[in-house]
Chains A and B, each alone.
Chain A
Amino acid sequence: MTEQLDAGLVAERIAEDDRLGRPSDRREVGRARRRKEDARLLTGRTTWTDNIQLPGMLYVAFLRSPMAHARITRVDVSAARARPGVVAAYGGQDLAGEQGSLPCAWPVTEDIVIPDHPPMAVSEVRYVGEAVACVVATDRYKAVDALEAIEVDYEPLEAVVDMTEALAEGAPKVHESGNRAFTWKFAQGDIDAAFRDAPVVIDRTYVQQRLIPTAMEPRAVVAATDGETFTLHSSTQIPHVLRVMLAMTTGIPEHRLRVIAPDVGGGFGSKLQVTAEEVLALLLARRLGRPVKWTESRSEGNLTVHHGRDQLQRIRIAAERDGRIRGVKVELLADMGAYLMLVTPGIPLLGAFMYNGIYKMDAYDFTCTGVFTTKMPTDAYRGAGRPEATFAIERAVDELAHELGLDPVEVRRRNWIAHEEFPYTTVCGLTYDSGNYEAATDRALALLGYDALRAEQAERRARRDPVQLGIGVSTYTEMCGLAPSRVLGSLSYGAGGWEHATVRMLPTGRVEVITGTSPHGQGHETAWSQIAADALGVPFEDVSVLHGDTAVSHKGMDTYGSRSLVVGGVAVLSACEKVKDRARELAAHMLEASADDLEFRDGSFTVRGTAEGRTIQQLALAAFAAHDLPDGFEPSLDAETTFDPDNFSFPHGTHLCAVEVDTETGESRIRSYVAVDDVGSVVNPLIVEGQVHGGIAQGIGQALFEEAIHDPEGNLLTTTMADYLIPSAADLPEFVTDRTETPATSNPLGVKGVGEAGTIASTPAVVNAIVDALRPYGVHDVRMPCTPARVWQTITDAGPPEASGPDETTDFGPAQTPEGGAR
């Protein structure tokens, strides 16, 4: 539909030079194709869930707990029920018999505590914002109006806000069983030996503040039923997983439940969830026999969309005096919030194998304790565990460099896996298949003008410029392409990590690709078309990609964890290859030749050495007509694949950030930002660059601006976009991005994934830069977000640089060993 509308325009634009380079041949893969998705998004013809209007539709609004922790002693909805336009009003008790418990699919240990999690609180609330009652009315204003008529009596209980206090003896309990959800350990090598008599030990604690994912589209749900079957539209990243989990939770048979993720306005992990509102909307539609819609307000969303990060990280590095790392020890407290949601406990574990980063070492030790508090549960947020791990190791390696008086890049060089050592099995047991850290780093240093900036830094230090310059380094890798199902099984995850694709050859030669991935901004319709166009030799415009509706795409594991291309894209390629195999058999029959004598080029099978051939379009029509097929050949070229990867993929890169810090106001200004990423082979450089840009911005958001703040009573203080600051255009610089390319060896496309790279890399790059700027002031850490107030306070707390002001004998000189030895 959109392609027809814009056919002329699209063709015109494709004709223009691709800003990011032309392909060397006619291949689609590698081209900076403008996106197929754009037309509807640019013209306002999008189907956001909240756009959906169904006949007789009702609107639900939720009354939410104003207390972080309380016993519910009475709920009276009768006055609300009597309000005009109100069709129904319920408290948790009214739904207790059928609402079940929200699922946790990742019981990380045998003895993990998974508390009952009713979608609507029945007897106790455990965070501010938990739903305690609802009103269903004929329009959204009437539903919200009637909430004020509901009476709820609470018996306040003590809030549990701080993780460390939560684990203390005698702390008030979030759940009867206590505040410890689990403790998970992982150890490799002899960690005691690594730390025994270590010439240098770095011991640091970092706070990963709580974040609010803040996808631009607030969540929305529309549930409908004809009495037999149920359809749920939801602003979700995971229509397939959601269908399975809702069937299990509500008892609605899976085959009578259809889940549709229409256009979805961003997710970043926050829509990788089975939410209370999805379950309740479905139950209300079933109970009332009418469609029910719920759309959250932003302030409701800040309270009740799962939060991200919120970890306390102690990291210790044992190293030789030349900077070589012996071993790394990590102790983590991870705030689960009040309940364990879909993958809450697994998030810190996704970082468990990443605290060694890109470095070689002999020993590693990791412990994570999941802690309950009376706050909104945490769960996946862009990077999920890996940004936390990368932040800790990259910050700590900078501390190691400082301790030894070495350049931070040099310390990294002395420890990283050299390009000729791949494939390399790390201390954590992961096999990094390919990479070239030297190439990415050298390129980044050149693009930033590293040496010149270091010279300027020395000059500013020498003249005690109140605006100091800092340079931050972050060399990261991540494990993407979630995931080999067997590995997920070994980590007690509740499902596999495969992905599905179907390729349908239509009689007219057009192609439908059905994917189990569920894009919400990533451009799969474009990228999958490029892959299929190359594989089948059909025009890019002749491919449509269908997704996000379980009635169309019946099977999938959806989109998160930088998995879509690496698993789902490979599935598309594999299904195309199967189509081609069938087409080859049919072509051989029609051309009366041996299949081995056929060659396939540009969409045609030809008999080697002759001009005789059949196009794949002709073969599609022949299969449809089915008049003359080989014996036993089913009249179809269609094929499907379910692909399960053998290994994760390991994108990597080097991000460098130059920050000017005004020591008098505490304000940090990013002067330049360079990212050189290696995400393997690239299908669409335009999309890759966009993912990197957006990722960097989110990582900078964590470094400089974002924090979900609770008061001691557990009230969230950052409930609006005026209080919880995501970066605006005015807050960010232009990014300089480039790529190096070492193809993944673990999949035929050579791809590694790019969705999370920027977010993982950028946070430590920025904070390292700020700390680097402030070393002469005796500052060795600044807690995130590094707001002006906090930077200023940190400088002030560090005391005067020296009695006579900063001088060459402190850190104002060039990098030298300041004191040496273990801290």
Chain B
Amino acid sequence: MPRITVSVDGVTYEEEAEPRLLLVHLLRDRLGKTGTPVGCDTGNCGACTVTLDGRSAKSCSVLAVQADGSEIVTIEGLARGQEWHPMQEAFHAEHALQCGYCTPGMIMAAIDLVRDDPDPSEEAVRQGLEGNLCRCTGYSNIVRAVRRGAREMARRESHQEATTS
């Protein structure tokens, strides 16, 4: 059975992975990283979105063996100690979640979206998150939250640059 090495939320794991094992099942069933849920079996819902070497990926559509050597960040790895990521803060402030099942994937996808478009328009957020489905919120508050989170990410980044330069 193939052996793989992955880093998940800053911890390195060495695992034997059956070739057909999905990344999301490796995370959930083997590594106990249950913060990333599964919402469908066709790659449509996006609930299982994580970042794989910095880019968002639906972990139900990646085999564990494909992730060999990769660095994975899940929703559990976003906060720095007590401090939430700005996107987590924004989702809370804008009431962008109800049942919360889509939220981990939505936040991970939103962060990747902002990486490409640091100040996304409403339309850009709607198009950019088309692959992440939510059944509770009707998306209005999610759109607001992503734009708020983007602004805060930019603010923190410029603050960081100012303090390090």
Q: Do A and B come from one complex?
A: yes
Which of B51-59, B63-71, B139-147, B156-164 is the interface stretch?
B139-147
Mask, B92-132, CB within 8 Å of A = 1, is 11110111111110010000000000000010011101111
Residue from the set A46, A140, A264 with the largest chain B CB neighbour count within 10 Å: A46
In the complex, the answer to whether B125 meets A729 with C-beta atoms within 8 Å is yes
Look across to chain B and name the residue whose beta carbon is closest to the beta carbon of A9.
Answer: B84
* Contact A726 B143, CB 8 Å, known A50-B38, A218-B38, A721-B40: no
Contact of B138 among A8, A521, A694 (CB under 8 A): A694
B135–A729 contact, CB under 8 A? no
Q: Mark B5-40, 1 if CB is under 8 A from A, else 0.
A: 000000000000010110001001100111111111
**Residue B82, interface by CB 8 Å:** yes
What is the bound-complex CA distance between A205 and B104, given in angstroms? 43
Question: With a CB–CB cut-off of 8 A, which chain B residues contact A263?
Answer: 100
User: What is the bound-complex CA distance between A48 and B47, given in angstroms?
Assistant: 13
Q: A690 vs B137: C-alpha distance in the bound complex, in angstroms? A: 6
Range for the number of chain A residues in contact with chain B: 35 or more
The contact size tier of chain B is: 35 or more
Q: Please report the C-alpha to C-alpha distance between residue A382 and residue B33 in the assembled complex, in whole angstroms.
A: 32
B143 partner residues in chain A, CB cutoff 8 A: 729, 734
- Residues in A whose Cβ lies below 8 Å from that of B89: 9, 13
Q: Which of B91, B135, B137 has a CB less than 8 Å from the CB of A268?
A: B135
Q: In this assembly, does B72 line the interface, its C-beta being within 8 Å of a C-beta of chain A?
A: no
Say if the beta carbon of A533 comes within 8 Å of chain B: no
Chain B residues near A140 (CB, 8 Å)? 25, 29
Q: Are B79 and A43 in contact, CB atoms less than 8 angstroms apart?
A: yes
Q: How far is the CA of A244 from the CA of B100 in the complex (A)?
A: 28
B165 interfacial contact with A, CB 8 Å: no
Of the candidates B20, B39, B76, B136, the one whose C-beta lies within 8 Å of that of A694 is B136
Quote the shortest CB–CB distance from B85 to chain A (angstroms): 9
Residue of B nearest to A38 (CB): B92
Contact A5 B82 (CB under 8 A): yes
Residue in A51, A140, A299, A735 with the greatest tally of chain B CB atoms within 10 Å:
A51
Select one of B28, B84, B99, B133 contacting A217, CB under 8 A. B99
B134 close to A (CB within 8 Å): yes
Cα–Cα, bound, A503→B111 (Å):
41
Chain B nearest CB from A46 CB (Å) reads 6
Q: How far is the CB of A236 from chain B (nearest CB, A)?
A: 13
With an 8 A cutoff between CB atoms, is A611 at the interface? no
Give the CA-CA distance A215 to B98 in the complex, in Å: 12
Most chain A beta-carbon neighbours within 10 Å: one of B21, B40, B42: B40
* Interface check B150, CB cutoff 8 A: no
Within 27-77 of A, Cβ neighbours of B (below 8 Å) are at 34-35, 37-39, 41-46, 48, 50-51, 53
Q: Which 9 A-B pairs have the closest CB atoms?
A: A44-B35, A41-B100, A265-B101, A521-B99, A693-B138, A697-B138, A521-B98, A721-B44, A44-B75
Which positions in B face A, CB cutoff 8 Å? 18, 20-21, 25, 28-29, 32-42, 44-45, 47, 74-76, 78-79, 82-84, 88-89, 91-95, 97-104, 107, 122, 125-127, 129-143
Write 15 A-B pairs (CB below 8 A) sorted by A numbering: A13-B89, A16-B93, A42-B100, A45-B76, A50-B38, A214-B135, A215-B99, A216-B102, A266-B101, A299-B41, A694-B135, A720-B44, A722-B42, A728-B132, A730-B126
